[in-house]
């Protein structure tokens, strides 16, 4: 038996377990790429990446981040997509199926990942809600021509009002549920096929606007001139952590999406496309934000408030700023929505086994995320003084820390160890056209990725 036939045989063994319904498949390679890029491109690219780059020395951080994406992000992305393809989208069963039932304990990793995704959804949807509130307020003109300090006050007023935050979050979760309830073909596939081209169009249009009216030269220098003195171990570790978050790794999202890949699509190539588009979108977001920030003499290292406080100051004073601001926050909402869809999927695919139960489970899961989200909502107002163990961290900070900074890298490390050491060798070899590419991948997944993640993890915990 040739190696290739052996691979196919190995993979069909793992798929021959009975399932209640035939697995759905993305309608095309484009639909799959749109969904995967949609999951990857989100608040992490447009909100987090620019402020992280801003706070960590610009170009130097960008170089580190690119290295981390190439060396640990892409290999783990290839592993996750393949595990889904060969073990099925239900992350709670995928690991056991791949090891022919012997590795059932690994399924705990699947449950942990899917649970983490729901917790992330509970607060990710809050930030997406802020973006939606800002999109509506920008277009209504209420954000125009205020004094600079009024923009900070504006954001503080939103955070102080739980009812308003809950309202906007509910709209985001409602939109997520109504798309996800339609299943893969009738929901996700149909939505991402037009949302992602729209997102690209908005990014390009806003990039042109920012280049025409802002200081593009200063932004380019900032993003691409490396200041190597900023290359601290801290910056390296936060670049590694961000590589995980931005590629949606470690929470089962890419495993679930991998479960629906059409047979003719090459996983390593798809992973490279996803990483490339994800990076391009992060850089493009930087090229929308920084030209404007520099033209107005604002602070590029303003941190999380960069988008909700600093940028509105500029939009409020620019020609066409109401429309540009409205489009910018709409871009953020679309990016977030195509990510929230993938946060539900690992749990939905694990719990639902037909169309009807899929609808019920997506509703239940979004309701759970919404209820849990109250903890984060209140941590900005009525519970803002509550502290557990750490005087610096609010409850929102804790949820973020435990999921994106602990559970997510652990999930990624688990996948790397499973794919590199526990899964049958033929399973992943079958995805690579060349033996050399496979050997490079195998080295990265067995040694480099787990060690790099261990370093991130140890640093975060200590």
Q: Which residues bind ligand PFF (CB under 6 A)?
A: 39-40, 42-45, 117, 245-246, 248, 251, 253, 339, 342-343
Tokens (6 digits) for 18: 């009975």
Reading phi first (left if > 0) and then psi (alpha if -120 to 50, else beta), residue 19 is in beta
Paired strand residues for 226: 58
The answer to whether the beta carbons of residues 21 and 254 sit under 8 Å apart is: no
SS3 141: coil
Contact 259, 92 (CB under 8 A): no
Rounded to the nearest whole angstrom, what is the least distance from the CB of residue 251 to ligand PFF in the complex? 4
Rounded CA separation 386/336 (Å)? 28
Other Cβ atoms less than 10 A from the Cβ of 422: the count is 14
In the bound state with ligand PFF, the residue whose beta carbon lies nearer, of 77 and 318, is: 77
Nearer to ligand PFF, 345 or 431 (CB): 345
Question: CB-wise, 238 or 342, nearer to ligand PFF?
Answer: 342
Q: Which helix (H) or strand (E) holds 86?
A: helix 74-87
Closer residue to ligand PFF in complex, CB, 11/39: 39
Q: Which is nearer to ligand PFF, 39 or 138 (CB)?
A: 39
State in angstroms the smallest separation of the CB of 122 from ligand PFF: 13
| Min CB(245)–ligand PFF separation in Å | 5
Closest approach of ligand PFF to the CB of residue 248, in Å:
4
- Do residues 181 and 358 make contact, with C-beta atoms less than 8 angstroms apart? yes
Q: Which residue in the block uniquely carries the two structure tokens 């899917």?
A: 114
The CA distance from 459 to 444, in Å, is: 21
Burial of residue 148 (number of CB atoms within 10 Å: 0-12, 13-18, 19+): middle
CB nearer to ligand PFF: pick between 60 and 249: 249
CB of 43 to ligand PFF, least distance (A): 4
> Which of 12, 8, 108, 19 has the alpha carbon at shortest distance from 349?
19
Q: Which is nearer to ligand PFF, 251 or 267 (CB)?
A: 251
**For residue 228, what is the DSSP state?**
G
Give the shortest CB-232-to-ligand PFF separation in angstroms.
Answer: 23
Nearer to ligand PFF, 326 or 346 (CB): 346
| Cβ proximity of 39 and 249 under 8 Å | no
CB of 45 to ligand PFF, least distance (A): 5
Q: Residue 62 or residue 313: which is nearer to ligand PFF going by CB?
A: 62
Q: State the CB neighbour count (10 A cutoff) for residue 378.
A: 18
Give SS3 for 58. strand
Which of 43, 223 has the CB closer to ligand PFF? 43
- What is the smallest separation between the CB atom of 267 and ligand PFF, expressed in angstroms? 18
CA distance linking residue 105 with residue 437, whole number of Å: 30
CA distances to 124, 385, 402, 407 from 388, rounded to whole Å, are 21, 10, 13, 19
Residue number with the shortest CB distance to ligand PFF? 44
> Distance (Å, rounded) from C-alpha 355 to C-alpha 93?
19
Q: Compute the least distance from the CB of residue 342 to ligand PFF, in Å.
A: 5
Minimum CB separation of residue 117 from ligand PFF in Å reads: 5
């Amino acid at each position: 038996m040739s190696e290739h036939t052996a691979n196919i045989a190995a993979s069909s063994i793992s798929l021959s377990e009975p399932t209640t319904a035939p697995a759905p498949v993305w309608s095309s390679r484009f639909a799959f790429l749109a969904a995967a890029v949609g999951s990857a491109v989100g608040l992490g690219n447009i909100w987090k990446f620019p402020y992280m780059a801003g706070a960590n020395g610009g170009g130097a951080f960008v170089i580190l981040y690119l290295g981390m994406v190439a060396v640990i992000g892409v290999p783990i992305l290839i592993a996750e997509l393949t595990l889904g393809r060969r073990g099925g989208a239900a992350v709670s069963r995928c690991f056991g199926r791949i090891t022919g039932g012997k590795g059932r304990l690994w399924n705990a990793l699947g449950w942990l990942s899917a649970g983490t995704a729901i917790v992330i959804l509970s607060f990710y949807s809050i930030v997406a809600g802020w973006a939606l509130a800002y999109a509506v307020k920008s277009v209504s003109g209420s954000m125009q021509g205020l004094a600079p300090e009024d923009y900070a006050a504006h954001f503080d007023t939103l955070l102080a009002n739980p009812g308003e935050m809950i309202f906007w979050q509910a709209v985001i979760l409602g939109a997520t549920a109504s798309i996800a309830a339609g299943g893969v073909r009738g929901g996700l596939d149909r939505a991402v096929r037009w949302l992602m081209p729209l997102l690209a169009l908005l990014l390009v249009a806003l990039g042109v606007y920012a280049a025409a009216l802002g200081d593009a030269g200063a932004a380019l220098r900032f993003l691409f001139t490396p200041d190597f003195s900023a290359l601290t171990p801290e910056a390296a570790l936060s670049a590694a952590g961000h590589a995980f978050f931005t590629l949606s790794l470690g929470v089962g999202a890419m495993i679930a999406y991998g479960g629906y890949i059409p047979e003719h699509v090459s996983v390593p190539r798809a992973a490279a496309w996803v990483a490339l588009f994800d990076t391009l979108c992060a850089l493009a977001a930087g090229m929308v934000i920084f030209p404007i920030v520099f033209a107005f003499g604002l602070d590029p290292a303003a941190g999380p408030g960069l988008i909700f406080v600093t940028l509105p100051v500029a939009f409020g004073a620019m020609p066409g700023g109401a429309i540009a601001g409205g489009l910018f926050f709409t871009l953020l909402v679309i990016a977030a929505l195509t990510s929230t869809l993938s946060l539900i999927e690992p749990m939905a695919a694990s719990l639902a086994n037909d169309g009807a139960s899929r609808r019920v489970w997506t509703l239940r899961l979004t309701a759970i995320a919404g209820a849990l989200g109250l903890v984060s909502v209140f941590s900005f107002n009525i519970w803002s003084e509550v502290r557990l163990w750490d005087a610096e961290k609010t409850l929102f900070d804790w949820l973020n820390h435990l999921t994106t900074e602990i559970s997510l890298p652990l999930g990624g490390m688990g996948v790397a160890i499973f794919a590199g050491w526990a899964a049958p060798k033929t399973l992943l070899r079958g995805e690579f056209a060349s033996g050399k590419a496979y050997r490079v991948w195998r080295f990265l997944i067995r040694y480099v990725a787990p060690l790099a993640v261990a370093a991130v993890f140890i640093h975060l915990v200590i």
